[in-house]
Structure 1
């Protein structure tokens, strides 16, 4: 059991960096393997393809900037690159989360048991298969919540000048919040805390969750580090669940009931 007695007041940044340590815990490393492999294969191939395409896409997008805003090209160009990277990284990290969701839930469950000192739940393949339909339904819930809001931001981006300046900033903030929801949700879902109640609980610590999500978003943009970010984020979010939400929601068990 890891001592959590002084952790309840820690920031979201603390939990993000704690995740890098937790993936190395003995007994946890084997549950990190499947999410890690999914992320390496998917994100690695996706970013190689993206960097090949950027030289084509950026000039096409910048061609839509009106003549009277050409003097802002030095600012709009990097914002455009960041916007593409944010949208792209979030899309493929979401896809990786879908594929790896049952294994991420299992990793979160096993780590929670380790952090709380409770007996580890059964980690057999039958348990994973049994939980997969419920986990995928939860992923659909998150996607349904995300898509309308993402669409508004994408439409904003096509407003010349103001939209192209504000959209990257708003997209980064929205991505940070959505990534906090994405990774914190594995522990909540393991205990069948419904999606609206989970979001309400996260809003009570919004600054911590925004810190956590912002760091996940930033590291998703960094080559090589982005290949291991999925299990790191799951572990960091699970530690935050144990310290900040578990007792608050009256959860005393680890096993999915």
Structure 2
């Protein structure tokens, strides 16, 4: 049984992000936050400079594709499309940042779990950080094989006249939340060698909580300055959720199915 009494108090999606922000300030985690933070700052600073120099032209081009009959919808669709572009753009660059920072995020998740549970996970430290790179990269590829067909489906929906163009931003916003939930929950799950398929199944049992968590992360990636620090906050928050909600069940199920692999 965990010594940390917070484990017995499951939180909402937004509260796990708040908890992640609080954990980020802990002296024992500061060292492990530094590298992901620097990577995020460099990538997002470059990304947003490019985005804000082009976004108006992209929106006007999309609006011109609307049938004249639906021109009155432009006032409604404009803010939705702005957020959709921001979310798509932020997700793409968050994915790049997460890919580069994956080994460091995994280490941050490990140290966060140790802090919360007072139990050893792997605790290899910096010296053995890169030994798991092949497995980490394989895991990132698994995520992309899952994400890509669904991302393409959402993008196609943007080009379907009338109905598709109207609902596509909403569909993308929801799915982006699910992708972000998977992205950050994957670090603590992967630290315990829980399979990607089992992780998705486990997260799906609390779909609303996870999509809420991911949607807030997605929204935060669109806000300058906040997008610099949201990555380590989300890693800590997702790890707290792993400890509170998933660890015991996921590890017991993993042991049950492992002989069948």
Indicate the residue corresponding to 1:173 in structure 2: 174
Kept in 1: contact 2:181–2:213 (CA 8 A): yes
Tell me, which stretches of 5 or more residues in structure 2 are unaligned? 253-261
C-alpha deviations, 1:91-136, integer Å up to 9, x for none? 10011000000000000011111111124712123x1110111111
- Following superposition, the deviation at residue 218 of structure 1 comes to 1.3
How far apart, in 1, do the equivalents of 2:139 and 2:108 lie? Answer: 17
Kindly indicate whether residue 18 of structure 2 is the aligned counterpart of residue 22 of structure 1: no
How far apart, in 2, do the equivalents of 1:7 and 1:49 lie? Answer: 45
* TM-score (structure 2 length as normaliser): 0.92
Indicate the residue corresponding to 2:151 in structure 1: 150
How far apart, in 1, do the equivalents of 2:51 and 2:33 lie? Answer: 26
- Following superposition, the deviation at residue 223 of structure 1 comes to 1.3
- Following superposition, the deviation at residue 7 of structure 1 comes to 4.2
Kept in 2: contact 1:146–1:178 (CA 8 A): yes
Alignment RMSD (CA, Å): 1.5
* Count of residue pairs brought into register by the alignment: 250
Greater helix fraction, Structure 1 or Structure 2: 2
Tell me, which stretches of 5 or more residues in structure 1 are unaligned? 252-257
Kept in 2: contact 1:23–1:32 (CA 8 A): yes
Q: Point out 4+ residue stretches in structure 1 off by more than 6 angstroms.
A: none
How far apart, in 2, do the equivalents of 1:225 and 1:146 lie? Answer: 25
Indicate the residue corresponding to 1:122 in structure 2: 124
C-alpha deviations, 1:116-169, integer Å up to 9, x for none? 1124712123x1110111111100000010000111111111112211110111
* TM-score (structure 1 length as normaliser): 0.93
User: Where in structure 2 are the equivalents of 1:1-257 lying within 5 Å?
Assistant: 3-5=4-6, 7-119=8-120, 121-125=123-127, 127-250=128-251
Kept in 1: contact 2:217–2:230 (CA 8 A): yes
Inter-CA distance 168–194: structure 2 relative to 1 (3 Å threshold): same
> Which region of structure 1 is more displaced relative to structure 2, 129-138 or 156-165?
156-165
